[in-house]
Amino acid sequence: MTPSEAEPATPKRPREGGKPLAKAAAALAAFVLVAGSLQLTRSGYSVDEEFTVFAVRGIVARGIPLLPSGLLYDRGIAYSYASAAASVLTGSELPAFRAISLLCGVLAIWLVSRLIAKLSTETTGIIAASLVAISIPFWATATSGRFYAPFLAAYVATLFWIRSRLLVVLLLASVCRLTHELAFTLALVPLAAWLVDREHRHAWIKAAFAIVAGLVAGQALLFAFHFFAPSSGETMVRRFFVWQVLNLFEQPGDHQRAGAGRR
């Protein structure tokens, strides 16, 4: 039997979904953008937005995010500088800060859909992105002037490119550290993958080096901020955790007990 007479090879199965699912992801991102836009100009502060406002005012006035107390606001410092740029360009404060969070939230939705599709199927990616989009914590972060939505976008982007573009991963890991202190959890991802994915252990070692290098670079930059702008040995992260300990263990004074008794 000649090759031409042989049974034809089974055609490759086309990738699931294709353009319809890509359009679904785009429609979901557009919905988040439009719905979130309605919340950008609401009045008043959401939780902790006043920290962003004062940090940005410090950047505009003195080039560094100093609070009125003189404390260097080192949490989400990359977001503070992005917000300062948005404030200067637009002439507004909270709406501009919230717009950055919303755009990062939209990006995070798209990245979640692509990341899960890469690991599983296109349909699963859309389902995962939809579950994120309908969650209350997501909306709280995507429409407030805080650094959580940018951190989410940078974190998921790092995971998306973790084995393909090491220089991008290094830069994103650095951005993650300059956005939130929990960026250090990124280092656990290649470690866990190295333990279970024996076939690609060499690639995971490279990814681990890229992530750790990015985290160290981000932390070094934070140390540089403290070196050039000392704040009486206090940092925002340290004071935050000290406050939590005091709230847990400090007993109220006699005047507070007396006031409670009168009530």
Least confident of 26-30, 32-36, 116-120, 241-245: 241-245
Residue 242 confidence (pLDDT): 57
Higher pLDDT, 21 or 240: 21
Q: How far apart (Å, rounded) are the C-alpha atoms in residues 78 and 218? A: 10
Question: For the chain, what is the domain count?
Answer: 1
What distance in Å separates the CA atoms of residue 176 and residue 147, rounded to the nearest whole number? Answer: 10
Residue 42 within a domain = yes
Which pLDDT band, with edges at 50, 70 and 90, does 159 fall under? very high
Side chain identity, residue 165: R
pLDDT at position 247 over 50? no
- pLDDT for res 47: 86
- Give me the torsion for CA of 30, 32, 33, 36, rounded to 10°: 160
Token digits for 15?
A: 């990738």
| Domain assignment present for 12 | no
Instruction: Domain of residue 122: give its range.
Output: 19-248
CA–CA separation, 75 vs 256, rounded Å?
A: 32
Residue 58 is assigned to a structural domain of this protein: yes
Question: Distance of CA 230 to CAs 54, 66, 220, Å?
Answer: 18, 10, 15
Does the pLDDT at position 9 exceed 70? Answer: no
Question: Does 75 reside within a domain?
Answer: yes
Q: Which has the minimum average pLDDT: 109-113, 135-139, 218-222, 224-228?
A: 224-228
Give bridge partners of residue 72 from the DSSP assignment.
66
Could you report the per-residue pLDDT of 21-76, keeping only the tens digit for each? 778 888 888 999 999 999 899 988 888 899 999 999 999 999 999 888 888 899 99
Please tell me the predicted confidence (pLDDT) of residue 257. Answer: 43
Query: 167 lies in a domain?
Result: yes
Is residue 260 in a domain? no
Confirm whether 136 is domain-assigned: yes
| Cα gap 132→113, rounded to integer Å | 10
C-alpha torsion angle, residues 18, 24, 25, 27 (rounded to 10): 140
Percent of the chain surpassing pLDDT 90: 62
Considering only residues 226 and 179, tell me which one the structure prediction assigns the higher pLDDT: 179
Report long-range pairs for 57-60 (Cβ below 8 Å, ≥24 apart).
59/84, 60/84, 60/87, 60/88
Predicted TM-score (pTM) of this structure: 0.81
| Assigned domain for 256 exists | no
pLDDT for residue 15 is more than 80: no
pLDDT surpasses 90 at 202: yes
Please determine, for residue 169, whether its predicted confidence score (pLDDT) is greater than 70: yes
pLDDT at 19: 73
Which pLDDT band, with edges at 50, 70 and 90, does 95 fall under? very high
